Chains A and B, each alone.
Chain A
């Protein structure tokens, strides 16, 4: 054995991993070879330096902060689950309902998207439309429970805690599929809820890292990665779900696949959108206002990302340095009454996505 071979074994030798024979070989070599002995001693000293590194105490607030976030997360999950599931004693109708609701939601979102894919033009108010149709579906499937399903958007409000609810959550939480359903529902519901309630759960989801508003979508994706992996394991259920959705839209079978992929993207985008800071302006001439806003944005060094229109309202998503945001809001005051939603702090020069809503005032109001 030459020195090179011995040197390669020194790390394992240090960790006591060599066989008795090998160990003996190395021992013998080290006793006579100065170079290798030196190499070995250096290895030992390097390791000693690492071991001597001070062990730090974590900051005293760390555990407290973690648990605060954890409790918040638990409360959020619980309120959604109990709201939707507390009415049902047995599981089977739940699963069926879950599948149907998801299929319908996917379908609704897809329908919402089709006009968007063919270009910008007037769309029916998506949130109220989907909400209405969702309610109808739920009411149809569960007659008599109609009263309880009031405004799915209210599911975002925290439910009163109680031990029976806890148990409900417990029983549900242990089923992975339940968590999956609820996450999908949460994601699908986010665009359904009004902007005011938006920062509730979707916002909290996207605000996981607070100042990181640069990439809200990937963060949302990151949080759901663990769940998504589980989705692959749950393949049979997933396929069943997809089959139901496909069955509903048989005439447009090809478009459904594209629509669903687009729907998922739109839902994710919709969720991310709801977490954006928003400036609302009420003005008499929304078309002119839009032009002014776009010009102001580009003067401030930003750019318009997308535009869309719904009845009586123009929506813009722009990208602007966080520090310029107040300038933009100020400028918009000349157009009409301006309302801004509060936002998490961001680095001054970091580009921020902002949602701008231009509401057309009708003369007769």
Chain B
């Protein structure tokens, strides 16, 4: 199982899942501790907003806890959890669309948080100040390009090229056949390339 983060092994997770199913609520806390960072980053890249990402992750963990009795253990816990996080992000995205009538929300404003406050800190003084600003501007442009993709495309791209899931794992998370994963990744990368070129010029 490839992972950006020094993460737990599948075996360790299953032990805590079993304990949780036995009624040990605090065992779930270990699972939260282990996976919250990865899930938060996934949610953040999906939604483009830190506040929203936090809420998605909370709801997802709570859902997972409620359904822990049903988790079969044939897939890895983190795979199962990833699916729940993506579902949650999708659901909230639909709800946000309904609410947009009252309170327009733009996912492309990575530069500002929900209250309209500028997100970046002023650059520290020093020789690398310009670099810092440039780097942040670049990262925001990339996130904006991601936000501009449609949901399906965004999911597969984030799973593959940011979180580095294998093709098999992605097939499990999204519950699609291997062949579909391959073609989606291909199209997603092409789409991202196009969006990036629009924002950054030649790559």
Contact = CB atoms under 8 A, between A and B. Distances in A.
Contact of A57 (B4, B37, B143): B37
Nearest to A348: B102
Contacts of B25: 70-71, 74
Nearest to A12: B182
A149 interface: no
Interface stretch (A59-67, A103-111, A332-340): A59-67
A174 interface: yes
Contact of B62 (A45, A53, A73): A73
A322 to B, nearest CB: 11
Contact of A170 (B23, B95, B197): B23
Interface string A319-333: 000000000000000
Contact of A53 (B37, B45, B186, B197): B45
Interface in B61-118: 61-63, 65-67, 69-70, 91, 95, 98-99, 102-103
A173 B69 contact: yes
A53 B67 CA distance: 32
24 contacts: A8-B186, A11-B186, A11-B190, A42-B197, A42-B203, A46-B192, A46-B196, A47-B161, A50-B146, A50-B157, A50-B162, A51-B161, A62-B40, A62-B58, A66-B62, A71-B25, A170-B23, A174-B22, A209-B59, A212-B95, A222-B91, A226-B63, A226-B66, A347-B102
A208 interface: yes
Interface residues of B, number: 56
Given A51-B162, A67-B32, A170-B22, A17 B167 contact: yes
Contact of A43 (B45, B55, B103, B193): B193
Nearest to A66: B61
A14 B44 CA distance: 26
A58 B40 contact: yes
Which among B4, B22, B50 has the highest number of chain A CB atoms within 10 Å?
A: B22
Contacts of B66: 73, 223, 226
User: Chain B at the A interface: mostly helix, strand, loop or mixed?
Assistant: helix
Contacts of B45: 53
Interface in A157-190: 166-167, 169-170, 173-174, 176, 179
Given A17-B167, A50-B142, A59-B54, A69 B203 contact: no
A179 B69 contact: yes
A224 B62 CA distance: 12
A54 interface: yes
A230 interface: yes
A73 B65 CA distance: 9
Contacts of A67: 28-29, 32
A214 interface: yes
A231 to B, nearest CB: 11
Contacts of B167: 15, 17
A9 to B, nearest CB: 9
Interface in B147-175: 157, 161-162, 167
Contact of B21 (A57, A166, A174, A230): A174
A49 interface: yes
B121 interface: no
A19 interface: no
A56 to B, nearest CB: 6
Nearest to B39: A58
Contacts of B185: 11, 15
A349 interface: yes
Interface centre among A11, A50, A350 (most CB of B within 10 A): A50
Interface string A196-223: 0000000000001100101100000011
Given A57-B37, A226-B70, A12 B54 contact: no
B112 to A, nearest CB: 16
Contacts of B69: 173-174, 176, 179
A173 B189 contact: no
B161 A167 contact: no
A55 interface: yes
B182 A53 contact: no
Interface string B10-40: 0000000000011111001100110011001
A222 to B, nearest CB: 7
